[in-house]
A = this chain, B = another copy of it.
Amino acid sequence: MPLPNSGDKFREECGVMGVCGHPEAAKLVYLGLYALQHRGQESAGIVSSGDGAFRSHKGMGQVPEIFTEPVLEPLSGPLAVGHTRYSTAGDTSLLNAQPLVVDCNKGLLALAHNGNLVNALEIRRRLEQRGSIFQTTSDTEVILHLIAESRSRSLAEALSEALRQVEGAYSIVLMTRDRMFAVRDPRGFRPLSLGRLGDAVVFASETCAFDLIGARYEGEVEPGEMAVADAGGLTRVAFSEPAERRQCIFEHVYFSRPDSVVFGRPVHLSREKLGRLLAREAPADADIVVPVPDSGLAAALGYAGESGLSLKFGLIRNHYIGRTFIEPQQAIRDFSVRLKLNPVRDILDGQRVVLVDDSIVRGTTSRKIVRMIREAGARQVHLRVSCPPTISPCFYGVDPPTERELIAAKHTIEQIRQFVNADSLAYLSLEGLREAVGDPEGTRYCDACYTGKYPTEPVNLELETGLARRRG
């Protein structure tokens, strides 16, 4: 749901993880969620299944805070599904925390969803019309209603029916008492990987979750595919006609961890390539290359390698950041950025600096960073961004600033340069971006945030139901 985002980064809304057929399923899901923590740091949940019953826990906060030993211990059974998410601005609550669990004519179901449905609102209106009641403001809930509504007696068919009615982005893990379904929308907007750990089948948004638990990556759940795991093994079928792939290109630019394989491609490879192509497209007459840590690291390495300039860690990131921070009343200049980044005067002093970042959203953070670097003595600052200007919001599972807040939506690159006060500013071209992710023809990735060309029909806006600030 595209709601306001107070930070200056795009935010992934969710990570999902499922384990089927392992005696410690919930513990493995817990570890997987921990590895997927960057995909959602405000709430998390795990549901396990065993002995015919579900056991679940959800909480606000980060995975290790929520899942302590006494909380995790009771989540027994050989199946488990988990979810980690950002809640959006006005909704810092458990209300929409996933996995959603319901009881219906198809039995007990637990569902974890990464992505965003663009026609959820109209389906919800129809369902409400016929008497359905809704307990969340989440688009995800309509899927469960559609499953229950289906006349099919088979859950696989009911799920297929349901999915054929929804439009948009979804990578879903659905658990019953004894089976686990993993499905991905026909365009494959969001990633979903399949792995094995001994006899167990595992699903996760990114492969870094497999690495931590020692699982073997076997490939993607394909767009339009339904993978079903149970005691009898794994079966994979198509639930939908093939459609054009529209994988989220920003997963490679920023979202995913560099140590993950996403959409079948190692992320770090794309990211270093972004930097190399950026150096070719937009060289700078400078002395050193400084990354904005941590996300600009790989691109900066590529830029330095290609340009022959020295890579220098001229900005140090502070890793002990708490949830809230108290600022003195006599405000400290650029305080919010200083808390996270400290410039190293001795490196920057007198230098012409190429500053490499992965994106500019509002521009306010970039402006502060450039100012800090100048105050530390840099003679020139050449800002290089490892993707094209972001001009359009995302409707497929990312929580971006609104269009109004995207500085590149309304301003020229020169205007942005002036705003951030850089000596020069360059973005990577769309062609460069496509080449970096291994899709030079631009046929496999969604790049709507850079082009405004959305792969689906115009979308409905957020669910505005009045089910506002619910906590607890």
Chain A residues in contact with chain B, CB under 8 A?
A: 23-24, 27-28, 30-31, 34-35, 37-38, 41, 45, 52-59, 62-69, 71-72, 74, 94, 97, 100-105, 108, 128-129, 131-135, 137, 144-145, 148-150, 177, 208, 211-214, 257-259, 261, 266, 268-269, 294, 297-298, 301, 305, 310-313, 316, 318-330, 332-333, 338-339, 342-347, 465-472
Q: Complex Cα distance A166/B65, Å? A: 43
Q: Are A56 and B471 in contact (CB under 8 A)?
A: yes
Show 9 A/B contacts (Cβ-Cβ < 8 Å), sorted by A: A24-B330, A28-B328, A52-B466, A74-B469, A101-B467, A131-B145, A131-B149, A214-B333, A261-B346
A124's nearest neighbour on chain B, judged by CB, is B103
Report the copy number of this chain in the oligomer: 4
Q: Are B342 and A259 in contact (CB under 8 A)?
A: yes
Chain B's nearest CB lies how many Å from the CB of A48? 10
Q: Are A213 and B54 in contact (CB under 8 A)?
A: no
Chain B's nearest CB lies how many Å from the CB of A443? 23
Q: Are A212 and B338 in contact (CB under 8 A)?
A: yes
Q: Complex Cα distance A318/B34, Å? A: 9
Contact of A213 among B27, B34, B35, B332 (CB under 8 A): B332
Contact of A35 among B62, B137, B318, B346 (CB under 8 A): B318
Q: Are B328 and A313 in contact (CB under 8 A)?
A: no
Q: Complex Cα distance A64/B340, Å? A: 13
Given contacts A132-B148, A135-B135, contact A472 B58 (CB under 8 A): yes
Q: Complex Cα distance A58/B326, Å? A: 17
Q: Are A64 and B330 in contact (CB under 8 A)?
A: no
Contact of A469 among B55, B67, B261 (CB under 8 A): B55
Q: Are A311 and B301 in contact (CB under 8 A)?
A: yes
Chain B's nearest CB lies how many Å from the CB of A147? 8
Contact of A133 among B145, B211, B269, B339 (CB under 8 A): B145
Given contacts A57-B472, A133-B145, A344-B266, contact A297 B313 (CB under 8 A): yes
Which residues of chain B have C-beta atoms less than 8 A from A103's C-beta?
128, 133-135, 137, 465-467
Q: Complex Cα distance A425/B345, Å? A: 34
Q: Are A148 and B133 in contact (CB under 8 A)?
A: yes
Chain B's nearest CB lies how many Å from the CB of A125? 9
